[in-house]
A and B are shown apart, each in its own frame.
Chain A
Amino acid sequence: MHAPDPHTDPMVPVIARVTGRTRELSDVVTFEMEVEGWPGFAPGQFNMLSVFGVGEIPISISGPVSDTTRIIHTIRDVGPVSHALAALSPGAVLGLRGPYGAPWPVQAARGRDVVVIAGGLGLAPVRPILYELMENRDAYGKVTLLYGARSPAEILFEKELGDWRSRLDMGVEVTVDRATNAWHGHVGVVTALLRGADFTPANTTAFVCGPEIMMRFGADGLTDLGVAATDIHLSMERNMQCGIGLCGHCQLGPVFVCKDGPVFDWATMKPLMRIKEL
């Protein structure tokens, strides 16, 4: 909450500097950046990133909360601003406002089983959850990650997925929509993996991130297994011009996705997501 000082201007970014760049996929790049006075963030929060002369877009933070200096973003090149962002190289400067939004309630899940379901680029906004789970593994019950990508070539964070998969204290399953000859894993929608997963529904908190249709099926699947709607959390995406409740674009019926979300529980989202074109 900002002090009511008329001279603070939440729409004005600070200068961020790119300190590292990793190509993940043909159209996805992960950046490390730094800003002076970065306050840190909570899993699920996002920044508004500006390329000068191009524009500004919301991007989730995909790094660990425990890294208090580097800000990590994973960006898919889909249009003008994300394209300009993806083209930045170390040393480049950009504008940054944030962090904004209601986070994933990860710590509230301590003592419980945790199921993370991600689809496509949706693995980036949940990665801070996975880091928290790994860093404080003993604090949680059984941990499951179910991840779906369109094809084997589009699997994000493949090396990390491999590392997590080799751990004995975590269940990791990956599926693809379209297999290639070299693929020996699951084929089909990610929600189909729920049936084989090991968790106690009544004592489970779930975090779901990906395309809306996938989140709907994921939440329905979890509900069918007995996970409470208030224990299922999703991250919503809407057009965002401000990220702070002023521009109106992110409205989803009664809520503003930017300031009330982007993370909402299924009890709140289910009745809204049922309405076409809300």
Chain B
Amino acid sequence: MSGAVPAAPVVFDAQGLDALIAALADAGREVFGPVRRDGAVVYEEVASSADFPKGWIDEQSGGHYRLRQEGEAYFGATLGPQGWKRILHPPKQTLWRTEGTGEETKIIREPLDETRRAFIGARACDLAAIAAQDRVLIEGPYRDPHYAARRANLFIVAVNCTRSADTCFCTSMNTGPKATKGYDIALTELDGGRFLAEAASDEGLALLATLPTRPATTDDESAAEAGIDRARDQQRRIDTEGLPALLKERPDHPRWSEVAQRCLNCANCTMVCPTCFCTTVDEVTSLDGPETERVNSWASCFTVDFSHVHGGAVRPGAKSRYRQWMTHKLATWVDQFGEMGCVGCGRCISWCPVGIDITEEAAALRKEGG
């Protein structure tokens, strides 16, 4: 995604969308995009534009997610529960296994997954989340080679949001609703199943050139901008000004205990969070042989085990575990990686079974506690 010369935007219709999917598949890529499954939008392999949830939109609020039919848009439904991390940083990753025993033990590393993939429909907040995971898993002193391999073989078609869910706050987090980096092609859906497309990489540019398109008019461009502005206006806000310092200075604010009363410690928020990267290594022993396998799985700071050391957990209390999650997202991530670990996607709000809302909690923590 380097050396990109921004080319003039073009417009294509549903046929162009199918041609885009076909071209990516012809280039040897597995193409993933939003599909409707079990009442939610998830990212799965798609064969054509018919797989997209055309004519469906989402309703989201604290502890609530529902799809309903409205309009004709392909990308009307915003974010489902799963981020793209399910593919790039999967819930389970074998690291290595042994062969032989005793003196003869050999360590066999798990081959890298070098599948060429394309994502269609990544939103601006999710691009920011992928960039955040890149910083942790690729750009640190040591890298996760499995993640790095999947990332290196990825082509991204972003979709700018022209509609936000009630739970979205990417504008406050400065990540959206318009994609500004981290993609090969960005689409903005216009009325009548048409798309305004812009390339940001050489590969994206070359690909667009093979599609049936026409140059975008200024009307197309202003329609796209108007859609994005509409999405921006539909959002909730979080005041991030001075928030990192404030959260770190208030580890004993009464609000932490108050939210701990409501929190079930179910870890849903960390599982649906597209930036949460934590993992635990487990030993898997086969029943029929001496071989063993080391498997890395998603972990959550909401569990007591997460902070286990000999003598007991560092964070036995629900208060300190909620505090770890929220302070990590909005404060200490800045110390660690130079920016916040929250991209404003709002998934943690919708998928919290008791509707705990990080934007509301942040606002409450701003008020002096008594």
State the A residues within 8 Å of B (CB).
1-2, 4, 6-15, 50, 52-56, 78-79, 91-93, 95, 237-239, 241-242, 244-249, 251, 253-256, 259, 275-278
Contact = CB atoms under 8 A, between A and B. Distances in A.
Interface of B: 95-96, 98, 101-103, 105-107, 109, 112, 136-137, 140-145, 148-149, 152, 248, 251, 277-281, 283, 285, 290, 292, 294, 296, 299, 301, 306-310, 314-317, 319-320, 324, 327-328, 332, 335-336
B145 A247 contact: no
B283 A55 contact: yes
8 closest A-B pairs (Cβ-Cβ)?
A254-B335, A248-B278, A277-B320, A244-B142, A10-B142, A254-B332, A53-B292, A78-B310
Chain B interface mostly helix, strand, loop or mixed?
mixed
B279 A13 contact: no
Nearest to B151: A6
Pick the most buried of B112, B143, B319: most chain A CB atoms within 10 A of its CB: B143
A53 B283 contact: yes
Contacts of A93: 102-103, 105
A93 B141 CA distance: 28
Given A2-B142, A278-B320, 9 more contacts: A6-B149, A6-B152, A15-B107, A52-B98, A241-B280, A251-B301, A276-B320, A277-B320, A278-B314
B299 A246 contact: no
13 contacts: A9-B145, A12-B109, A15-B106, A52-B292, A237-B309, A239-B307, A242-B281, A245-B142, A246-B136, A247-B280, A249-B278, A253-B248, A254-B248
Nearest to B286: A53
A10 B140 CA distance: 12
Given A52-B105, A251-B332, A238 B280 contact: no
Nearest to A246: B144
Contacts of A247: 278-281, 296, 299
Contacts of A15: 105-107
B105 A7 contact: no
Contacts of B336: 254-256
A176 to B, nearest CB: 20
Contacts of A92: 102
Contact of B96 (A12, A241, A277): A12
Nearest to B277: A248
Contacts of A8: 143, 145
Contacts, number: 138
B140 A245 contact: yes
B290 to A, nearest CB: 7
B314 A238 contact: yes
Nearest to B279: A247
B319 to A, nearest CB: 8
A39 to B, nearest CB: 15
A15 B301 CA distance: 32
B339 to A, nearest CB: 13
B311 to A, nearest CB: 8
A150 to B, nearest CB: 13
B141 A245 contact: yes
A48 B336 CA distance: 23
B86 to A, nearest CB: 17
A238 B307 contact: yes
Contacts of A14: 107
A6 B277 contact: no
Given A8-B145, A95-B107, A249-B306, A241 B279 contact: yes
A9 B364 CA distance: 44
Contact of B290 (A11, A53, A259, A276): A53
A15 B99 CA distance: 12
Given A6-B145, A275-B251, A56 B328 contact: no
Contacts of B144: 11, 246
Given A15-B107, A254-B336, A278-B320, A53 B142 contact: no
Contacts of A246: 136-137, 140, 142, 144, 277, 279
B152 to A, nearest CB: 6
A50 B294 CA distance: 10
B279 A248 contact: yes
A93 B245 CA distance: 48
A78 B279 CA distance: 23
A263 B32 CA distance: 44
Contacts of A9: 95-96, 109, 145
Pick the most buried of A56, A244, A245: most chain B CB atoms within 10 A of its CB: A245
A91 B324 CA distance: 43
Given A6-B145, A239-B314, A254-B332, A11 B309 contact: no
Nearest to A50: B294
Contact of B281 (A56, A237, A275): A56
A254 B152 CA distance: 29
Contact of A79 (B112, B152, B296, B310): B310
B98 to A, nearest CB: 5
A261 B315 CA distance: 20
Given A12-B107, A53-B290, A254-B332, A278 B251 contact: yes
Contacts of B315: 277-278
B328 to A, nearest CB: 7
A250 B271 CA distance: 19
